[in-house]
């Protein structure tokens, strides 16, 4: 099969997948050349590139398979109409959730211990400054309690933090909660109360119509002025203007961002004038995560080869091409 990554510069990931699929052709293409590449592809891997209607016109394309969880860049109705499967890889069970959770923890520690200011003290040969804040005894609100949220909660328990989990429906009533020690798990109606309590707000939901601008002006108004906001989900989960205003007016203490409203993001954007730590969408970019995801992607390619529907299919009612 011919498989295209819809972004260039991913040689390491291409090589990992090639090891799992040695008899298949693994290629890449620029983001703006996806419709043309689709004409020659059996499988497209979007990464962060938009996969729209034009790509779905390919007579050959049979599967759009994300190398991770996010499908917000894929036109799933267009794929369904064209008889093309769309699938992703869940964060749990591959090392992806754990890797993203580790990055969220890095942001929490970096902001709490004032890492940029500490580097400035090193340059100025100043000892014992700045004074940071410990995680012990503080409250973290995890917004989106899926694979990433649970992985983060598990890690924060070792820091003796109070952990509040917020999900759309709250805890399941038909099965017991897992054994991760959290203080409280609430549904959407407890969302603002959790924000008021939290010293750290970590957003980790999928991006959809319900979560776009989930954290906006009203939500920032609920937060403590010493709170930190960390986004490891998708950029538009935070309202850009509301975040910028909150930073500018001192309504929050800072932010940690691994994802942005468009990517690559402008390094000269005004938001970096404030207390913001940032990474270039690397939450899942670890050896463990990328290898774990490759195995799941390869499994779906092999299922397609064998005439089976892919696992974790986002459009299970599709009538696939013959």
If asked whether residues 109 and 233 sit together in one domain, one would say yes
If asked whether residues 16 and 151 sit together in one domain, one would say no
For residue 228, being part of any structural domain is answered with yes
Q: Tell me the DSSP string of 166-221.
A: E-SS-S-SSS---S---SEEE-GGGHHHHHHH-SEEEE-PPPSTTTTT-B-HHHHH
- pLDDT tens digits for 110-146? 999 999 999 999 999 999 999 999 999 999 999 999 9
234 catalytically annotated:
yes
Count of domains forming the chain: 2
What's the number of CA atoms in the CB half-sphere (13 Å) around residue 174? 1
If asked whether residues 64 and 118 sit together in one domain, one would say no
- Average of per-residue pLDDT across 72-92: 94
If asked whether residues 157 and 9 sit together in one domain, one would say no
Residue tagged active-site, from 249, 263, 270, 308: 263
> Which pLDDT belongs to residue 280?
96
For residue 310, being part of any structural domain is answered with no
If asked whether residues 150 and 212 sit together in one domain, one would say yes
- Average of per-residue pLDDT across 38-51: 94
The model's confidence at residue 91, banded by pLDDT at 50, 70 and 90, is: confident
> Which pLDDT belongs to residue 175?
55
For residue 312, being part of any structural domain is answered with no
For residue 319, being part of any structural domain is answered with no
If asked whether residues 67 and 141 sit together in one domain, one would say no
- pLDDT tens digits for 218-276? 999 999 999 999 999 999 999 999 999 999 999 999 999 999 999 999 999 999 999 99
Residue tagged active-site, from 7, 251, 281, 296: 281
**Mean predicted lDDT score pLDDT of the chain:** 94
Q: Which residue has the higher pLDDT, 85 or 70?
A: 85
Please answer whether residues 247 and 275 qualify as being in contact, where contact means their C-beta atoms are separated by less than 8 angstroms. yes
Residues 6+ apart with CB under 8 A from 231: 202, 203, 237, 238, 255, 256, 257, 258, 259
For residue 313, being part of any structural domain is answered with no
If asked whether residues 264 and 298 sit together in one domain, one would say no
If asked whether residues 32 and 139 sit together in one domain, one would say no
- pLDDT tens digits for 172-214? 765 556 688 899 999 989 999 999 999 999 999 999 999 999 9
> Which pLDDT belongs to residue 169?
85
Write the CATH number for 268. 3.40.50.720
For residue 187, being part of any structural domain is answered with yes
If asked whether residues 172 and 53 sit together in one domain, one would say no
The model's confidence at residue 313, banded by pLDDT at 50, 70 and 90, is: very high
> Which pLDDT belongs to residue 160?
95
What is the span of the domain harbouring residue 155?
96-278
> What gap in Å lies between CA 295 and CA 18, rounded to an integer?
11
For residue 295, being part of any structural domain is answered with yes
If asked whether residues 114 and 260 sit together in one domain, one would say yes
If asked whether residues 209 and 271 sit together in one domain, one would say yes
> Which pLDDT belongs to residue 170?
86
> Which pLDDT belongs to residue 171?
84
For residue 318, being part of any structural domain is answered with no
Residue tagged active-site, from 234, 251, 270, 308: 234
């Amino acid at each position: 099969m011919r498989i295209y990554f819809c972004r260039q510069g991913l040689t390491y990931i291409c090589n990992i997948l090639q090891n799992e699929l040695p008899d298949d052709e693994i290629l890449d293409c620029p983001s703006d050349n996806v419709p043309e590449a689709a004409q020659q592809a059996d499988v497209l891997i979007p990464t962060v590139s938009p996969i729209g209607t034009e790509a779905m016109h390919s007579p050959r394309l049979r599967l759009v398979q994300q190398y991770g969880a996010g499908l917000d860049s894929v036109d799933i109705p267009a794929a369904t109409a064209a008889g093309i499967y769309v699938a992703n890889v869940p964060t749990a069970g591959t090392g992806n959730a754990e890797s993203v959770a580790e990055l969220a923890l890095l942001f929490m520690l970096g902001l709490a211990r004032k890492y940029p200011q500490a580097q400035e003290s090193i340059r100025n040969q100043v000892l014992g400054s700045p004074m940071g804040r410990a995680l012990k005894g503080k409250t973290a609100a995890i917004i989106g309690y899926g694979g990433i949220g649970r992985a983060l909660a598990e890690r924060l328990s070792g820091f003796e933090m109070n952990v509040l989990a917020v999900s759309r429906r709250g805890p399941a009533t038909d099965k017991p909660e897992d054994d991760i020690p959290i203080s409280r798990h609430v549904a959407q109606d407890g969302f603002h109360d959790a924000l008021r309590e939290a010293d750290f707000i970590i957003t980790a939901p999928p991006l959809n119509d319900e979560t776009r601008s989930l954290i906006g002006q009203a939500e920032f108004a609920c937060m403590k002025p010493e709170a930190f906001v960390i986004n490891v989900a998708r950029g538009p989960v935070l309202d850009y203007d509301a975040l910028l205003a909150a930073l500018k007016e001192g309504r929050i203490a800072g932010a940690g961002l691994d994802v942005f409203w468009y990517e690559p993001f402008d390094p000269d954007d005004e938001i970096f004038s404030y207390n913001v730590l940032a990474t270039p969408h690397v939450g899942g970019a670890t050896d463990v995560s990328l290898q774990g995801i490759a195995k799941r992607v390869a499994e779906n390619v092999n299922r397609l080869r064998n005439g089976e529907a892919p696992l974790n299919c986002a459009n299970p009612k599709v009538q696939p091409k013959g």
